[in-house]
Amino acid sequence: MELTLNNYFVYLSKLDRLWQKKTELSCYAVFLVLIIFWCRIKWNRRFIDRFAAKLPGPQSYPLIGSGLEFTGTLQQIMEKLIQLTEKFGSEPFKVWLGSSLAVILSNPEDLEIIFNSSKAFEKDQIYNFLIDILGEGLGTAPVNKWKQHRKIITPIFNTSFINQLLPIFNKKTSIFIRNLQKELGKTETFDIFDYIISSSIDTICETSMGYNCNTLSDDKYVFSNAIKDGTKVICSRMCKPWLYPNFIFNIYAKITGWHQIHKKCHELPDQIIKKKKIEYIQRKTFENKTVKNETKRLKVFLDILLELNDQGANFSDKDLKDQVLTMMTAGSETSALTISFCILMLAIHQDIQDKVYNEIYEVMGNGDQTLTIEDTVKFVYLEQCIKETIRLYPIFPIILRRAQENIKITNHIIPKGTTIVIPSIGTHHLSEFYPKPWEFNPENFDPENVAKRHKYSFIGFSGGPRNCIGMKYAMLSMKVTLSTFLRNYSVHTGCKMSDIKLKFEVLMKSVYGYPVTIRPRVRTPSYQLKLKKKNL
């Protein structure tokens, strides 16, 4: 019995040693695999690492990269971005987004190369975070899809099409002016953005989708608030590399109510598309009987897309929805923010407001005649004010591309796979192009001054083949809104330039809104008013 037990313990001892050896060998094998895997990653990234070593940039750490630089409030994130662009100026610098390298380019010569290089047409992977809200519209689609859809959609946005939308712009702006009357006589400031965003959504729905939102005010505010909440969540993810993995973000999404936000973002577009498709089918069914009325009917963006689909454009229901979402978001909030910033600038700078009004008066006089396309062309100084607003406060403070191949810029070769960050907020404030870059000076866009600068020193509508398709639409709508507003009201504020604080919510916004007061406009040129007061 004793011998048997000894044999048993010897057997267990041998088994234990064998198990230890196997475990040890397994650990060595795992360690070896990790070493090989790490070496392979380093080999594949050797060009990126060499390139990164040549560039200055903020401190980075394993796994999170430079993520600690962009923690804090949305205002602090924006301030940090501005600080970095001011520190490095027009020189390229690096930021690590987790383990991914991003090179930040502000030099217009570099931007011209990037914007026009087919090797950099691809939007960065971070734009995938926007797809849940915007879908794969022109702003977020991968290159192959973007090329196909851009080729189809670009002809729609011709001058003739945009000009025919002027009656809608005039109608919606008139409603906006009437709604503002409730603010007359008040000494307390109000946020002009609240009125403008409502008007912008009404306008974009009717001009792009032929859909009147006036009777759906609850729906449009639900949509607007959902987009606002959604961009906050996306912004948090963009600035925190640890939220990049989907399985981590899914936990974060449950905490933030992301799925409910997503649902609300899609309800109104779904409603619009469903209604328009029914109308389109009905028109096709009876087109022979209604041909005379059909020629008089205004065809808007979605109408033309549905017609092109019948002709073989092959837009799926999802494609239609993606383009609608892109138009509704890019065509409403971006213009509304720029108009709000511009009105605030004119309220702060009364002398510039007077000059703008004098131009409007010279074109329109003191009557109530309807604004025409010819009138808008004559608003040269107003356009300078709009562009200066976009320069000072670019709504898209950063644009992200991805290098699909090695790209040679002025002093470097950007390796394939590098994220390219183009901070318009940085380029627009380079002192070599804009003396006193944080002052509001419409003379920056006087033709003589524009001719002296590099073409890509102003990138308010992006640049190159993948620029903003709706810039002519945006400029016309902003001219109509601002000129009509200034014909009817003078705008005032106690706010100073130093009081304006900015925040990053994918779009750039004012932390404290756009506080102004309004007074009825005396339709007399400001120089005549000043002369009259002087004589009195």
The rounded distance, in Å, linking the Cα atoms of 173 and 168 is: 8
Look up tokens 């309220």; give the residue: 347
Three-class DSSP labels, 203-234: HHHHHHHCCCCHHHHHHHHHHHHHHHHHHHHH
Angle CA 39–42–47, to nearest 5: 145
What are the backbone dihedrals phi and psi of residue 6, each rounded to the nearest 5 degrees, phi first? -60, -45
The pLDDT tens digits for 202-213 are: 898 888 888 777
The rounded distance, in Å, linking the Cα atoms of 339 and 326 is: 19
DSSP element (H, E) containing 94: strand 93-97
Model confidence band, residue 17 (pLDDT cutoffs 50, 70, 90): low
Do residues 315 and 308 lie in contact, with contact meaning Cβ atoms separated by under 8 Å?
Answer: yes
Is pLDDT above 60 for 533? no
The pLDDT tens digits for 84-143 are: 999 999 999 999 877 788 999 999 999 999 999 999 998 887 778 888 777 788 888 888
Token couple for 232: 């906050």
Using alpha carbons, select from 337, 341, 392, 353 the residue that is nearest to residue 495.
341
Is pLDDT above 60 for 339? yes
Is pLDDT above 80 for 214? no
Model confidence band, residue 535 (pLDDT cutoffs 50, 70, 90): very low
Domain ranges of the chain: 54-535
Q: What is the mean pLDDT of residues 61-85?
A: 84
Model confidence band, residue 531 (pLDDT cutoffs 50, 70, 90): very low
Q: What is the pTM of this model?
A: 0.87
The rounded distance, in Å, linking the Cα atoms of 184 and 196 is: 16
Which comes out higher in pLDDT, residue 152 or 480?
480
In CATH, 54-535 is 1.10.630.10:
yes
pLDDT at residue number 343: 98
Determine the longest span between alpha carbons in the chain, in angstroms: 129
The rounded distance, in Å, linking the Cα atoms of 461 and 478 is: 14
| DSSP class per residue in 258-278 | HHHHHHHHHHHHHHHHHHHHH
Q: What is the percent of the chain with per-residue pLDDT over 90, rounded to a whole number?
A: 43
Question: What is the residue-averaged pLDDT of the chain?
Answer: 85
pLDDT at residue number 351: 96
The rounded distance, in Å, linking the Cα atoms of 93 and 196 is: 38
Is pLDDT above 50 for 215? no
Q: Quickly count: other Cβ atoms within 10 Å of residue 303's Cβ.
A: 19
Look up tokens 């702060």; give the residue: 348
The rounded distance, in Å, linking the Cα atoms of 302 and 280 is: 10
Is pLDDT above 60 for 294? no
Model confidence band, residue 312 (pLDDT cutoffs 50, 70, 90): confident
DSSP state of 495: -
Q: What is the mean pLDDT of residues 495-512?
A: 93
Identify the weakest region by mean pLDDT among 23-32, 236-245, 515-524: 23-32
Query: What contacts 446, CB < 8 A, 6 or more positions away?
Result: 384
